[in-house]
Structure formats: C-alpha cells, structure tokens
Structure 1
C-alpha cells in the first residue's frame, strides 16, 4: 500500500492542468523569457495575470462539484435551495497520493474490509485515520519498544471511540501536512462530543458503555493537552473533568483499573501521570492518592520497565505524589519534619544498575559489547531524570531552598546529564518533558539552557506535539524575566493553560 495524505481538493487544479496542457510549462516559459519575451505567443500582461478562481474557499460540497461560485449561506446556499440539492459544508474531500511525503510514515492499510459496531462499513477517511493512529500516533504515547495494542477493537465497537481516534490522528496529521481543513476537524470534534454526551445522558449507560466512553474522553484529553494545546478550541480541562466524572461512575480509579482492558489501563497510567505533573507544577494536590501507583506498577504502563535492582518509575511517581500532598499540609500550617525530608531523599536517591555508567567511555564499551542492552541503560537514565526532578521539587518547594543553592543546582546538572545520556533516537527522551522542564526552569548557565532548547527541538521533531512548543516558549519567557529566582509557582506560570507535561 502507499502512504496517504489528507488534502482538500481545489477545483482550480483542473483549470491549471488544462492551461498547462495548452501552453508551455512555467519552467519553459522562464527559459524563453530570458531569450525573447514574444516567443510565448501571448502578451506580457496576460501571462502575468492571476489565475481565475472559479470557486471560493469554504464552498459547500455541491458547488465544489459543479465548480460554481457559492454564496456561503448557512445552512443551505442559494444555488442548492433553487436546485433542490442537499447542501453540506462539512464533507471532507480526500486525495490519496501515490508518492509518500517526507514527514508521512509508511502505513499498511489493515482496515479495508471491517465495519463499526453497527455493521456499517468504515468510510475511507476512517480507515486511513485508524491506520495512521495505529502506526504513527499510538507508539508516540509510550516509551516502550513494544507498547500494548491500541484500542482499535474498542473503536470498532464504539462510535465515540472511533470518532475520537480518527480526530486524534487527523489533528496530528494536520500539524505535519498543513493541508487539513480546521473547520472540518472542528465539525467532527463537535460531532464526537455530542455523541459522547448523548450516550452519557441516556438511561442505559451501562458499565461496558462507560468503559468505551472513558477511552474516548481520554483520547480527547490527550489530543487537546499534547497536540492542540495552543488552539482556541482546546478543552483539556473540560475533558479532564469528564474523565474524573466517568471514573467516579465506575467506582473510582482503582475499580476502573481492575476492570479495564490493557489499552485502557495504559491510557489511565498516562492520565494519572499528567495529573501528577500538573499538580506539581501548579502547586496543588493530585486527584489520586499515592497508593494508586502500587497498583499501576503491576499493569500496562506508558514507560519502559527497568531492570531489577533499580527503582521503577511508578515508585518514583508515588513518592512525588506523597510530596505533593505533604507540601499542601505545610502550606496549611503543618510544621516541616526533618525526618520526613530524609525519607523523601532516600526514596528518590538515584540508583544505578551494573550495566550503567556516567562516563562516556564505559557507556561506549557497553554499547560495543552488547548494543541490545542499551535501551535498558536509557530506561534507567530516564527514571533517574525523574528522581532528580523530584529532588529539585523537594528542596525548592518543601525545604524552600533558593534556586542558586548548591544542593539544588547539583540535581539540576545531574538531571540534564541523565537526559543527555539518552540517545536522540530513543523513545525515552520524548517522554522526559517533565524533568527537562523542571531542570530547565532552574538552570542558570547559558550552556544548560541551550542544551534544554536543543533537546526540546529534537523531541518536537519526533513528536510534532504543540505541547513541546508551549514548554519551549514558557522557558524562553521565564529566562528573560529571571523569575526562576523567586518562587516555584512563578517559574511555571507562563505555561499555556491546558498544556500537558509528561
């Protein structure tokens, strides 16, 4: 199969192809103009006239088909009313290119003969979007080399899940192709949310239906928080509240985790992680207690598991959740306990496996002796970056140390060293945005700041998520104002509302 590209067919291309057939190509004209401007056989002013546009942008589909001018009246234009034609503005026109674009991955169509839960065959754009979601988008949500399967089976059973997955894929594809109509995407987004609200409002909202709706809302939450966070229509907080409401109806996070399928658990682990990181950055309590991370550790998660002898990321995130609750108690008037600080320090103390080393020479020896073991080295470095970020939070928020304090700066340097130790082509670096953001917000030297920006550029090139650009813009604004020398909360106030940091 060949790659596909979503573009809106412009009727002016047909006129252009006819004109190109009747006259020399633009390159040939350019060459003849250099020798004799009269060789082309047409006046100079005619050759430089703008091409006639027979349709206007945003025309309804029947007017586009007939190549006539549309008056853009809603809900039906005048031509469609007079001719008795059904007027439609939200219809998507697709053209599948035979030659793949540079940014498009090679996709293999696997949904050519499938149908949704109602037995209706999938539309062409839905099949292509599911292909893109499975092959390109879903692997970006995990650092694991072999993540769990995407929720394709749920999408074929539930219309809201199918709509959410297609919108997620098409929105991400639009950031790369720049040819997708935002109006069409917005229309399908509204249809998806209407479908979700309709099923939630029905009296027959059984548990199986709620499980499917949970996946749909989780996908919309990640879409708005990762991909479309800088768009005006982004509704990250609304989807966040929707996930919490569905979890409450299912009996809470732990109950939903136990009864959910593997792909739902992976999305729930990502939701709990983004809730925690947002709580740490904004100085609030997380929505879930620290105990959930013991349960999350035993299931499918978005990160690569580490070797024995090192702390898992789930235990590190659990300790960070404890610190978030403890810091709130201190703000409420509780006295700081030194023993509690020491307990947090021990829990977040970076650990090293036998395979790992901080020296470049020993790391290269490991790579040369057994390259297959390097992903494990990178996974451990990924966990240590989160450990150092947790210690920065501990000293800055709970212990109230200044940014220039030597102890805090040691962990800033160590955190950046861990991230730099991860290979640029490794998926672990793409999900290290939280430690990179925390260390970057407290970095003081230009060398470290340039390193942070370089890593963010590499992550954006791999992900194409607007959240990366939002973090980059927030850091640049922070460094100009020098607010990182004040309080923790002031260091992260420039981050766009609704941006998820994983």
Structure 2
C-alpha cells in the first residue's frame, strides 16, 4: 500500500499555496511562489467564490462584478498599492516608517495610481529577482502607461489637486528611472528630464508652498526626496538647485525623508550650505567664475563652527541617538568640504586638504556611531568621498557599506555606483597625473547625469 502523501502546507499560507499544497514562505504582500509565477497572492481568512460574476460570500455578497479586469487596474488595487505602502516607502525615509497615505485616494487618481504601479512593479521585480520575460514586459508596459497618463494630464488644464498629483508622479518617475532601474544612457537622460520637469512644475505652481501647509505626509515626503535628488544632481553637473540656502529651513517640523527635525537642525543647515555651494559651482562651471577666497573661507568657517557645536552638544547632552545623528550630519558636512576643495577651489585629488576630509569622513562611516539605518541614506557622500579613497582599507569600508545598503534598498542603480567607484579606483592606482589633476566636473562626468542619490 503506497504511503499517504505528505501535506506540505504551513499554517497561515496564502490560498494559492494551500490549493497547490506547497510550502508558503508567508511573505507579504506576495509570497515568493506567487511572485515567481505572477499569480495573485491572497491571505484573506475568507476566500470569495464567484458564480456568474456574483460574490456569494463576504462584504461583496450579491454584487455583480465582472470576472475580468484590465491587468494594470488589477495589479494596482490588489498588489502594487500595498507593496508601495509597506515595502517601498519605508526604504525611502530614514525612520523606516510608513507615511500616512490614503490608498483609496491613490487608487482613484489615474496619475498617481499608474506611477505607483510602475515603481512598485519595478522594485518588486528587482527585489525578488524576477528576471523572466513576462516580468520585464510588464515593467516596461507599466512605465509606458505611467508616462502616457502623466503627459496627457500635464498638457491639459490643471487645478491645485492635479498639480499635486503631477508633482508626486514626476518624483516617482524620477525614482523609477534614476534609482530603481539599471543605469543606461536612456534612463540617465530620462531621470535628468524628470528633475528639470519637476522644477518647472514647482515654479509654475508658485513653488509648491501649499505642500508645507498641509497635513498629508506623502506630498512633503516626495518634496523632500525631490529637492534632495535635485541638489545632489546639481552638485555633480554644475546646475543651480531648486531650493536656495535659506529655503531648507522650511522643512523644519515636517515629515521629510530624514525625519521630523527643527528648522535649525544641523542637517538642514548642512543641506543649505550644500545648496549655496551648488549655486557657486554653477557659476564656476558655466561662466568660469572665480569664487573669492573670502567666500570660501566663510563657508569653511561655517562648516567648522557647525562641527564644533555638534561636538559640544554631544558632550553635554550625549546619547546614542544624538551621537548617531551627529555622525550622520558630519558625513554630509565632510562631503561639502570635499566639494569646496575640489569644485570651487580646484584642488587635486591627492591634495592634503582633500585627503584629510576624505580620511575624516571615512572614520565616521566605519565607526559604530553610524548605524546601518543611517548608512542607507549616505549614498551621495559614498559616491563623492568613495571616488577619492586612496587606501585599500577605505575602499573595503565603502564596498561593505554599499553591499549592506544594496541588500536593504534593492535599488538596481547601486550596481552602477559600485562599477563607477571600481573604475575610479583603478585609475587612481595607475598614478596618472593628468587624471588626478582633473577637475570636479570631468571626474564625475560618466555618472553625473544618471545620479539621483541621497
């Protein structure tokens, strides 16, 4: 007599795995087996059964609903909105919390829903390493649908609500092309145009001032992400950033990607200084301006005073959280110093001031004072400082930091960041004098347009 077949299901399995009697990994919102074959994953306690398009159980009992729904709409309502809220958004803010958003509102807004579908599908495909042809086709279709809907509404008449949706969708498209997907010549150009378009939307929309005045968290989160990507992008290509130095204080007491801080917080002050540096860099790059030495010294003094104040505060009101935040701010502050030395002062890669800033920054990155959660949000400093690392132990630290961050963020663009760093280190090891004396803009030319990092 043959043995009784062993049932391989586990308690709490999704309905698909229960029906097939296979082991479910219980991942939410979609388990691994359902994600692999593109099947809808359902963990509901009651499974609806449909008869002639009518639900026989549950809250939809008696309602006649078509059996077929367009794939994009079904993915939006059944999977991607939840994935966007619970899987992607926590990776886009430092506190790892989910902003309060109205999923029902997103599902009714065609501009936002299509963009959410596109970014959620792209991230899920890469995070779960779904490389089959169907996944690739769906990802491309979702992106094209999002662009089509975005452009259609962009060319039509807008009210404030549509402007909100257009701006958020534009940020999502920038994330899609600048972070989630592989870095190619086409994606780099697209990400750059999304940033330019975002600036245009904000200027046409009187600067988006009403975003700061509302209580919804998603718009302010998207605005903080956009202005940070715009700032880092501007620093690399020599463009003027959208926000000037004083405007960064407006993010005080807002739910931004770096958390809710006061308007005079050290991080906002550092971002303001970086905005000032980017504006000066625009003049240097495009108009061959020479920044007066007094201006450079004043900026360096501001950075030094900020560092000293952080040290005093840490000694006076020391705590693990305070030390971690001070370390996080200092990484961006050292990056500002590197930009001041390289882009505005024209110092060589191996100049002692440049290497001193690099060494100081690397000490912070490798120290336990900077926890992993904060390290996930220093990609731009890792790029700037990492390309200047002359010592192998520094490079090992950079590699490890990017590996940990890649495993958490699941952004495909980090592969391009790693390849760029390895290429720059190879050139440094060749001790090519012309290369070491190359200016800031030439040094980052190969990755500048494609970089949307923070």
**Structure 1: segments with no counterpart, 5+ residues:** 10-92, 99-111, 358-365, 367-372
Task: Give the aligned partner of residue 46 of structure 2.
Answer: none
Map residues 453-472 of structure 1 onto 2, 5 A cutoff. 453-472=399-418
C-alpha displacement at 1:374, in angstroms?
2.7
Q: Distance in 2 between matches of 1:381 and 1:195?
A: 42
Aligned mate of 2:120, from 155, 161, 169: 169
The TM-score normalised by the length of structure 1 is 0.69
Task: Give the aligned partner of residue 355 of structure 2.
Answer: 409
The answer to whether the 8 Å contact 2:179/2:452 transfers is: yes
| RMSD, aligned CA | 3.1
C-alpha displacement at 1:494, in angstroms?
2.7
Task: Give the aligned partner of residue 41 of structure 2.
Answer: 96
Whether 1:328 aligns to 2:273 is: no
Q: Distance in 2 between matches of 1:225 and 1:113?
A: 41
- Once the two structures are superposed, what CA deviation does each residue of 1:207-260 show, in whole Å capped at 9, x if it has no partner? 112212221221111121111142576321232233223223311244554468
Which protein has the larger Cα radius of gyration, Structure 1 or Structure 2? Answer: 1
Q: Distance in 2 between matches of 1:212 and 1:449?
A: 42
C-alpha displacement at 1:419, in angstroms?
1.7
Q: Distance in 2 between matches of 1:424 and 1:278?
A: 24
Give SS of 1:252's match: helix
C-alpha displacement at 1:176, in angstroms?
2.5
Map residues 58-137 of structure 1 onto 2, 5 A cutoff. 93-96=38-41, 123=74, 126-137=77-88
Map residues 87-486 of structure 1 onto 2, 5 A cutoff. 93-96=38-41, 123=74, 126-146=77-97, 148-150=99-101, 152=103, 154-179=105-130, 181-203=135-157, 205-230=158-183, 234=187, 235-254=190-209, 256-258=211-213, 261-304=216-259, 311-330=265-284, 332=287, 334-349=289-304, 350-351=307-308, 352-353=310-311, 356=314, 373-421=319-367, 426-482=372-428, 483-486=435-438
Q: 1:347 to 1:422 in 2, by over 3 A?
A: farther
Task: Give the aligned partner of residue 86 of structure 1.
Answer: none
Q: Give the number of aligned pairs.
A: 386
C-alpha displacement at 1:177, in angstroms?
2.3
Give SS of 1:400's match: coil
C-alpha displacement at 1:499, in angstroms?
2.9
The answer to whether the 8 Å contact 1:294/1:315 transfers is: yes
C-alpha displacement at 1:448, in angstroms?
0.9
The answer to whether the 8 Å contact 1:478/1:494 transfers is: no
Q: 1:96 to 1:218 in 2, by over 3 A?
A: same
The answer to whether the 8 Å contact 1:470/1:496 transfers is: no
Task: Give the aligned partner of residue 32 of structure 1.
Answer: none
- Once the two structures are superposed, what CA deviation does each residue of 1:127-173 show, in whole Å capped at 9, x if it has no partner? 22222211111011111254532463541341221121122111111
Q: 1:391 to 1:492 in 2, by over 3 A?
A: same
The answer to whether the 8 Å contact 2:171/2:222 transfers is: yes
Structure 1 or 2: more helix by fraction: 2
Task: Give the aligned partner of residue 53 of structure 1.
Answer: none
The TM-score normalised by the length of structure 2 is 0.76
Q: Distance in 1 between matches of 2:291 and 2:449?
A: 31
C-alpha displacement at 1:276, in angstroms?
0.8
Q: Distance in 1 between matches of 2:355 and 2:262?
A: 28
Q: Distance in 2 between matches of 1:307 and 1:413?
A: 30
Q: 1:272 to 1:484 in 2, by over 3 A?
A: farther
C-alpha displacement at 1:394, in angstroms?
0.8
Q: 1:171 to 1:484 in 2, by over 3 A?
A: farther
C-alpha displacement at 1:387, in angstroms?
0.4
**Structure 2: segments with no counterpart, 5+ residues:** 1-11, 13-25, 44-57, 429-434
